[in-house]
Amino acid sequence: MHPRTVDAQCLALEGGAIVFDRARLAQVDPGWFEPVGERMSPGGGRGAVWRVLTPAGPAVLRHYRRGGLVARFSQDRYLWTGAGCTRSVREFRLLARLREMDLPVPAPLAARWQRRNLSYTADLLTAEIDGARTLAELLPAVVEDAAALEALGRTLARFHRAGVCHADLNAHNVLRDRHGVWWLIDFDRGSLRPPRPGWWRRRLARLQRSLGKLGRLDDAAGRQAWARVCLAHDAALRDVR
Q: Are 232 and 154 in contact (CB under 8 A)?
A: yes
DSSP-derived letter for residue 120 is E
- Catalytic member of 21, 168, 186, 188: 168
The letter for the amino acid at 5 is: T
3-state secondary structure (DSSP) of residue 186 = coil
Going through 146-200 in order, the beta strands assigned E by DSSP cover: 164-165, 174-176, 182-184, 191-192
How far is Cα of residue 9 from the mean position of the Cα atoms in its chain?
A: 22
177 among known catalytic residues: no
Residue 16, SS3? strand
Q: How many Å apart are CA 169 and CA 121, to the nearest integer?
A: 23
What residues are labeled active site? Answer: 168
